[in-house]
Structure 1
Amino acid sequence: MGVLLFVASDVDALCACKILQFSYFILINCGANVDLLEILQPDEDSVFFVCDTHRPVNVVNVYNDTQIKLLIKQEDDLEVPAYDDIFRDEAEDEDLSGSDSDGSEPSEKRSRLEEEILARTTKRRQRREWEARRRDILFDYEQYEYYGTSSAMVMFDLAWMMSKDLNDMLWWAIVGLTDQWVHDKITQMKYVTDVGILQRHVSRHNHRNEAEENTLSVDCTRISFEYEYLCSWAPWV
């Protein structure tokens, strides 16, 4: 059971919606490849569950596991850059500061000042080098767009892991995968691999033996892969 909220665009309705204080949001096939927190500016207790096939995933979404919960299959390798390569502690960038002691000799003050200047110069150079590497890393990571596992398949997997999966859900997973293939969103290898996964679920849901060959229900489902015609999902009658 879920909650479906329709809100008019007038001020009164928007204020009423704000009073409801929704804290959990589910995004399907949207939101993964943008910085959600930067765009939406949500409250600190807001949590976003994101099931999105668009790649690459925004690095902020990947490393913010407090407010952003990515629903992604473990075998989907996101190839995300290492945290230290793209994020830096602001405290590290503060210039070294020193305080002169009135009791110090002029030569000691001059020596200490020279050391501080050298340290600040070195830190600035390291910062520039790190920023240049970061730009190159993010460019390599973000330059190509592609698609991950079908969101319908991900949702079906969740239902299966909770022992809530049904034949109808399996059918929608099949349709979702087929849509990816028909619109050239995934490679043939990815498609055939996912077909194999769904085929096992179909066999599990519609288990039969030879004695039942001629007594199958119209609700039983079979996945057949036809290389020449891309694919065919047909009821087994």
Structure 2
Amino acid sequence: MMDALSVVSQLRDLASEPQNREAIVQDQGCLPGLVLFLDHKNPDVLFATLQTLRYLAELTPNISTMKNELGMMVSLENLMEREDISVDVTALAKEVFGILSAPPRPAPRSPERKKKSQFFLNSSNKKAKSVTLHIQGLDSTDQRSLCEEALLKVRGVISFTFQMASKRCTVRIRSDLPTESLASAIAATKVLSAQQVVRNEAGEEVFLPLNSSGVEVQQNAALPDYLPEEESPQAEADRAISRTAAKEDASGGWLNAAAGFLSKTFYW
């Protein structure tokens, strides 16, 4: 079973990969579901939904489809005018509304299109990569909190998603950040250790040892603007993204599960 926050959080992670953006917008269930999420009571769901829409709007051909989606512009305007939600949400709503309502530009790489929101951390990290870690000792929510604190301190970590059932964590990082830095930060907890999950030539998953000793870890001076939301325990099952390949095929797998959830929840 999925809940709204886990669905939109995973959909946002999928949308952060440029190759998935067209498939998400073309899917019959995802875009209408995101519009409905713009009216959700949970502010975390609202912010994650807006982040997802901001990613999707990075692909210029998506803009017209998104703008014409029933209820999209009205819902964004409502968020912009609300006074009972955070300024982060209203500011991002204004940015998305501005992008969708702007006249089409013949040159998609104009300077204005390169301007990024301070609330949209991932958009400034075009050269990013995803790493899947198997974390020994990841057996409870307390240990997950330790791991979260360790990863948040590493400069270059963009986002992460846990799959508690398989003791894994998918981490999106800057391409210039050594994977060993993640292992070193996790090892510093004294109770957790990490190995990288990769696929060999036969397509089988194997664990790659990571040298965590003697690796200098650059730390954030403060917490980043975007923090991963709490996931429901039920969402931490096999439906969660467990490897990069899942993002390379957005038309199947997890995206279909998310669309199915949206359809069952909102359509009869």
TM range, smaller chain: under 0.3
The two structures have a TM-score, normalised by structure 1, of 0.25
Q: Which has the larger radius of gyration?
A: 1
Q: Which has the higher contact order (CA 8 A, sep 6+)?
A: 2
